[in-house]
Amino acid sequence: MSTVAMEAASVGAHLRPIGVIRSALKVRGEAPRQGSEGAPDAWVEVHPWAAEALRGIVAGDEIILITWLHEARRDVLQVHPRSDTSNPLTGVFATRSPDRPNPLGLHPVFVRAIEGDRLRVGPLEAIDGTPVVDIKPVLK
Amino acid sequence: MSTVAMEAASVGAHLRPIGVIRSALKVRGEAPRQGSEGAPDAWVEVHPWAAEALRGIVAGDEIILITWLHEARRDVLQVHPRSDTSNPLTGVFATRSPDRPNPLGLHPVFVRAIEGDRLRVGPLEAIDGTPVVDIKPVLK
């Protein structure tokens, strides 16, 4: 792809948050690495302009939240998995490191309840204040 | 969250493509709706600056590609699933519609082969030229 075409492809690729995580997890250091590792339930507060896009989601659904990991570093291409230097240096695309060129988080969660524009979901390892950029159903 | 804090959270949420899809599927109308619905194999051409982030991925891995569906509409909040008007109007967050506020595509694929900075993957329903913004392993 030419440089010109590459720049054209990136035009418009600016994420607009559709909601935000409200969680008891306040800092990155105290968050589990995956939802399945003891993470709590949390709220997704969907912004009013996007709320009608929730129609059809019901309690009990399994959904995938896509978040923007706003505290992550974008200049990291290789890591020692789980921050353990005895693990060999590995490309971030082969890991779930939050530090990566586009720090998107994928979180499969269950919908516990729906209250207006808010979804109660869990288990979720994302910290309070994390922007949510998309919600998708899990394909059966 | 205050308006100021919300704006702060969206700062920097600009996606930089890490690669591009090269596929025999050239137009959106001919693409299957999901990879499992008869999609072909395709190439992911990873841009040179990001290639070292591939280290550790091997043929046979199952990975998740995250793409930017650059031809999608961002002003669509509800759709008739599978473009069938007999299906009730449903919020895009309850569907896999490419048209949605942040048109991110999630594609679970198998790595068939690796050739330098290119991954042969499939099955993949994304069309030729689709920007790739992240690659993650499937958690076992």
Q: Which residues of chain B make contact with A12, given a CB cutoff of 8 A?
A: 70
H-type alpha helices, chain A: 3-10
A90 to B55: CB separation less than 8 angstroms, yes or no: yes
B133 to A102: CB separation less than 8 angstroms, yes or no: yes
User: What is the least distance, in Å, from the CA of A10 to any CA of chain B?
Assistant: 6
Q: Is the pLDDT of residue B88 over 90?
A: yes
Q: Which residues of chain A make contact with B47, given a CB cutoff of 8 A?
A: 6
Chain centre to alpha carbon of residue B86 = 27
Q: Is the pLDDT of residue A35 over 80?
A: no
CA distance A136 to B15: 19
CA distance B65 to B132: 7
Bridge partners for B134 per DSSP: B66
A18 to B102: CB separation less than 8 angstroms, yes or no: yes
Q: What is the ipTM of this complex?
A: 0.89
The pLDDT value given to residue B121: 98
The pLDDT value given to residue B4: 45
Write phi, then psi, for B139 (nearest 5 degrees): -70, 130
CA distance B135 to B54: 9
User: Strand B104-115 to strand B118-122: parallel, antiparallel, or no bridges (unpaired)?
Assistant: antiparallel
Averaged pLDDT score across all residues of chain B = 90
Nearest CA to B54 out of B124, B125, B132, B139 is that of B132
A6 to B13: CB separation less than 8 angstroms, yes or no: no
The pLDDT value given to residue B125: 94
Q: Which of residues 80-109 of B touch A (CB under 8 A)?
A: 88-96, 100-102, 104, 106
CA distance A93 to B86: 40
CA distance B127 to B107: 12
What's the rounded mean pLDDT across residues B103-124?
97
A64 to B106: CB separation less than 8 angstroms, yes or no: yes
Check if B14 contacts A (Cβ < 8 Å): yes
User: Strand B131-137 to strand B118-122: parallel, antiparallel, or no bridges (unpaired)?
Assistant: unpaired
- Half-sphere exposure (Cβ direction) of B39: Cα atoms closer than 13 Å: 27
Residue B14: DSSP 8-state: B
Nearest 5 degrees, angle CA B98-CA A94-CA B64?
20
pLDDT digits (tens, 9 = 90+) for B8-47: 445 558 999 999 999 999 988 777 877 777 899 999 999 9
Domain A17-137 sits in CATH 1.10.3720.10: no
Q: Which residues of chain B make contact with A65, given a CB cutoff of 8 A?
A: none
Cβ–Cβ under 8 Å, residues B31 and B127:
yes
Amino acid in position A93: F
CA distance A8 to A10: 5
Cβ–Cβ under 8 Å, residues B67 and B124:
no
Check if A59 contacts B (Cβ < 8 Å): no
Kindly state the tokens that stand for B106.
Answer: 């999630």
Q: Which residues of chain A make contact with B73, given a CB cutoff of 8 A?
A: none
